[in-house]
Structure 1
Amino acid sequence: MTAEPETWRRDGRWATVWPTGRRSVAAQHTAGGYPPVPPHAGGAVSPEVAAYAVAIYSQAGDTVCDPDCGPGTVVAEAVRARRHAVGISRDPDGWEAARAALTAVKAQGAPGDGMILDELPDRRSWTGLGPIDLVLTAIGPPDDPADPGGPAGARLRARLASYRDLPRPGGHLVVVAAYHVAGVDLASEVAAAGRDAGWRPVQRCVALTAVPYTRLLGTARPPARARAYPVHQDVIIFRRDGGRAREPRTPDPPPLAPAPHAALDSVTSDRSAA
């Protein structure tokens, strides 16, 4: 952690809550045609969180990149939202899963286009879709929180530094971090490592991943085991200096029982009309 004051915390949008937990993660994966994941998985981006971030920090026709794309959720949601999408996976099984997710959404009629690469591009090999407007990825819990090379160590700083050349000047890096895993405040460590790697942190948000139980809203009481799982993830937003940044736009609130991706399509149509 650097000694510099965290002036970015004084932003009026600090700790914004994203309404991305209206459906369970399992229901989101079923609706989107993704393979199921455990509802407490902290190292993955849920479809609604990915769609919300894409809607806020990019516009139709922009390029979105997930440099560690896992099952391809970010790429698939970006393609649904009429963006160009680039996913990177060095793991052969992950590459296959991301390709399958991209193929599935294209078969469903997603209007964007995308690709899955097997390594991070450099200036000599990059032949992609033009400057990247949004880098969106997840950072999960470390295998060993006590490892000195773990979340607060050199590996995290090196990972965030490797993303520096991806976005255009003024573009954003959005990191979805697991919440307080094994007593580790991973979001704060991501913010510190990003600053050390040359990024400017500009906002911290909370992305809901489950509907909290309240009698007032009439939601069903979850089973005791489910209540032990985190119901949100932390989101850290960085900006690359050197260009004019776009002001993020909060999507319109979806209806109480939205059809899959209806809210995101509405946001994209509004922007296209504008």
Structure 2
Amino acid sequence: MGGPPAGAAPASGWDVESVATELLACEAERRDRPPFTDEWPGLDLDTGYAVRDRTLARRLERGERLVGVKLGLTSRAKQQRMGVDTPFVAWLTDAMVLPVGDAVPRHRLIHPRVEPEIVFVMGERLEGPGVSAASAMAAVASVWAGAEVIDSRYRDFRFTAGDVAADNASSGAFVTGPVGLPPAGLDLSLEGVLVEVDGEVVDSATGAAIQGHPGEALALAANDLARRGHAIEPGWVVLTGGMTDAVDAPPGVSVGLHFTHLGSVWLRGGEG
């Protein structure tokens, strides 16, 4: 009693539709903004996912094609650094695919940063709930090295869980490496990566940084999507989450991501 009627917009004026519109406008205009939760504290995780799904619908309406999902903040260290306590699941479309050899597309992003990923291409449909890491890995056709170019529509990458879910987990672009291997025989918890910037190794990690094993992240994604009526489809690409901190790639700078068995991915910073 005494509250706003069901379906009414919050006092801030923001709602799912208007936040989706603003995020897509920020992306198109290459501008950042403060997090919406500064004005709309009610933008919780579930509401953020509703915004995420609305922006996907708008992308599909304008001709983009859904090609997979990505996980964000799967590393506990990165969760603590960003002030959130859960990984996020977001959508990948064909407009986010970066062709091999292309530079980081700074001309269409706000403040892009590069992070190494272990990437799955799915062979079978994977639907939760109750998916385990073992059953998740059984649905994988091949494993690849990858680089995600993360971006954020929020100034200084400052956001809450609801904000970043709405922003499709800071999606930008992604590229996969030259080597695709079957998962059998790979110990992905021990798959290492060295991050090289202009010839200097600046970071390293193993697949254990991703929820203990990338298969755990895949299972998490399937189970989380099931809560909202979605499944991971055959042929989809799944980015399992950044293994290390993301690094900047200013114009002309070369970033190399060197994996133990999955080869290397090279990116150079493009012009703004």
**With structure 1 as the length reference, what TM-score do the two structures score?**
0.24
TM-score by length of 2: 0.24
Task: Pick 1 or 2: higher relative contact order, CA cutoff 8 A, min separation 6.
Answer: 2
